[in-house]
A and B are shown apart, each in its own frame.
Chain A
Amino acid sequence: MYIKLIKKKYHHHKPEYQQIASSINLKKRMIMKTRTRRIVLLPAAIMVLGILFGASLQDASTILTRMDDVMYAPKDIKGRYSITVIDRSGRQEVREATFKQKGTDRRLVRFTSPASQAGIAFLSLPNDVMYVYLPAFGRERRIAASAKNQNFAGTDLTYEDMESVPFSQKYTPRLLRTEPGAFILELKPRGRSDYSKIVVRVNREHFYPETMEYYDRGNRQVKEATYTFKRVGRYWNTEQIEMRNLRRNTSTRIRTTDVQYDTGLSNDAFTVRRLRG
């Protein structure tokens, strides 16, 4: 009985299945399977569904990897951030910072203004290691995992948002849908995170992110980031990120300026030794 039901369902979906399978070059294998006896239909169906699901996952992974490739394309990058924090009444406060990044997992951000935050520096290293240097204490401190959901220097970005880790390493993607000009991916964190998921709109032509919607553990959308990319030489440069905090009704606009690529930064520039400036 169960075998029949499976068979019926299988036939019901046959045209759609063939179309998708064809697109992933599995058509020949599928036709061969339809010629086998009924008794093998159950494992065959399970296998086929697995291949289907795997194909979808594979596509989502490919898209996310290509997005990472765009975002982390340069060997290294350095420049300046102009960070404007806008509160719910529209009042704006501007912070300035310099940043350096190397590869996919090393980033150093150092505030230069306002005076109360000048000198505060943040270092992201491989294996989820982050340090912050506070000039008032004159020493660096490891950032505990619980602190990663905290706002970074009064902005709408958290320490977790500031981490330099490729999305494909931190999240398991799923292709939600394809829209004209964009792929919509759902990213679920692989490890500890303050977010339950992130929904990313990826530009279909150039594979850079256009928007990201952040959901908390209660599956409520809490933040939304809008990206503006601009071609600079061989690379797509994140010209602006606007992070809106939907819960607090505030936003943070980060503009990057004076960007330089592939200047030959060494790993030594991303050490606790260099965190003090």
Chain B
Amino acid sequence: MVHAGKWISLVLLMVSAGLWGQDASNISFGGRYEGDGRFLLGNGNDWVWSEHRLSLRLDQRFSDRSRFHTTLWARSIGIPEVTQMSHLYNKGISDPFQAELREMWVELRDFPAKGFDVIIGRQHVGWGTADGIGPTDLLNAPDMEDLLDFGRKRGADGVSLTWYPWQDFSLQAVFLPRFRTAMLPVGVFSDILTPPLELPMGLLPGNLTDTVVMPLPGLGPQAAAGLRAKGFLKGVDFSFSYQLVRDGLPYASMNTLAPGQEPGYLDIHSHLRFARYHVAGFDMATSLAGVGVWGEAALHFPDKDLVMQTDVTPLFPGATAPIIIDSMLVDKTEPYLKWLVGADYHFANGSYLNIQFLKGFIHEHGRQNLDNYFFIRYELPLFQDRITVVPVNGAFIISDFQQIEDNHAIIYMPEVAWQPNLNTTLSVAAVVFQGKGDGMFSRLNDFSQFRLRLEYFF
């Protein structure tokens, strides 16, 4: 709460300072209010999401040579968990509030020389051509807080330098000196990234604890960097990239199993680390016979073997030496390719179709662990674009083509949006999950929900 107040004060100070000190015509201030409520389709229609988000944006330009930009979120988010009388005195519990600095950067154009642009600060780098889930867009850590907001990223703190030697060609270098972790899903989806535990017959999980081992604080272990050459040739936009990144999602490097407080239970303590990768990327976009086509490929080279060790020594009090079982998660000598292809088409009646296929989601690593994701969205605008009906929207996920029946997930999200005026959109949507197996989205059958949203721009 105190932090939120500081941020709001900071932004207000910025706005007022800007308005007093600068030509007002160079300042652009705006934002968006978004209200989002969701309840389960079953299970007593429990509320599972409540968010009121104020997104504030400020831009200030100094001639054509520099620009300051910031985006701040101030929001009331979460379902209050009031369980004690004392909570009723505590607005931090009864009225959860959070503020977040999404972006804040300064752009210097034709700096340090003509043809160069520099952006310094918290920024979204945004590489690739895919819609939201591109496998080459790795420099910003994923923000998976809201699982239904695919592709949301956290801002990355650093410097981006782009050189435009020719009109259709650019070379970009990005250096991010400080590591930022991913944000994990909250609410009913909070366990989605935790794989189901496989314990010996008759044993149940007891106390589950963990320790996150952050990279060492030095520049070397913390930094990420990327280089990208982007061009346009014979109607095709394309780019080649190299990135040295640390995955913002941790993996379990060590699990220590110990007898629980009660017989038949196992306590598990996990050490979580963040793996580092070298990634060679390629992306393209073009138009073929009126169809928009794009693709991305990211070849991952792990910096070192990712091994998960399971220490079962505490289960054997008489053991004279540690008993540790190693499981290879990702072999350093086996690079693996994540890739995506997509296409979209606008029909004469104004409707729009978008299809994408992705091999390997954000959290999947290793050649054998990449699932197959088909995404589709069809939009039909009606009544002079006042109403948009999205009868087909969702994903079909297959973990194992040999046993599709037992290893799949379907996410179906039909939606209707009404725009009473240009700045306001009201929408209702259903989110239906159906799946089988151990995949991330296959375990969400109980969380199908109904969603109500309001967006207002100012």
Contacts and interface: CB of A to CB of B under 8 A. Distances in A.
Interface of A: 87-88, 93, 95, 114-118, 127, 129, 137-139, 141-147, 149-151, 154, 192, 194, 248, 250, 267-268, 271, 273, 277
Contacts of B385: 151, 154
B423 interface: yes
Contacts of A146: 287, 290-292, 345-347
20 contacts: A95-B422, A115-B30, A118-B457, A127-B235, A129-B232, A137-B126, A137-B131, A139-B126, A142-B285, A142-B286, A144-B291, A145-B287, A145-B289, A147-B292, A147-B346, A149-B346, A149-B348, A250-B384, A267-B167, A268-B167
Contacts of A87: 384
The listed residue with most A CB atoms (<10 A of its CB), out of B31, B167, B289, is: B167
A154 B423 CA distance: 12
A150 B423 contact: no
A150 B285 contact: no
A131 to B, nearest CB: 9
Contacts of A88: 384
Nearest to B286: A142
Interface in B144-188: 162, 164, 167, 170
A118 B124 contact: no
Interface residues of B, number: 39
A273 B170 contact: yes
Contacts of A147: 292, 346
Contact of B28 (A118, A143, A267): A118
Contacts of B291: 144, 146
Given A142-B286, A143-B292, A146-B346, 12 more contacts: A88-B384, A116-B423, A116-B457, A127-B235, A139-B126, A144-B291, A144-B293, A146-B287, A146-B291, A151-B385, A250-B384, A273-B164
B346 A150 contact: yes
Interface in B164-216: 164, 167, 170
Contacts of B117: 273
A93 to B, nearest CB: 6
Contact of A144 (B30, B131, B287): B287
B406 interface: no
Closest 8 CB pairs of A and B: A144-B292, A146-B290, A115-B457, A116-B457, A144-B287, A145-B290, A114-B422, A147-B346
A115 B422 CA distance: 8
A236 to B, nearest CB: 29
A116 B422 contact: yes
Interface of B: 28, 30-32, 67, 117, 124, 126, 129, 131, 162, 164, 167, 170, 232, 235, 237, 285-287, 289-293, 344-348, 350, 384-385, 421-423, 425, 457-458
Nearest to A270: B167
The listed residue with most A CB atoms (<10 A of its CB), out of B32, B117, B287, B385, is: B287
- A interface SS class: loop
B349 to A, nearest CB: 10
Contacts of A139: 126
Given A93-B422, A129-B235, A151-B350, A144 B344 contact: yes
A95 to B, nearest CB: 8
Contacts of A142: 237, 285-287, 292
A88 B386 CA distance: 12
Given A115-B30, A273-B170, A144 B126 contact: no
B345 A144 contact: yes
A151 B349 CA distance: 11
A144 B290 contact: yes
Contacts of B237: 142
Contacts of A194: 348
Nearest to A192: B290
Contacts of B290: 144-146, 192
Contacts of B285: 141-142
B457 A248 contact: no
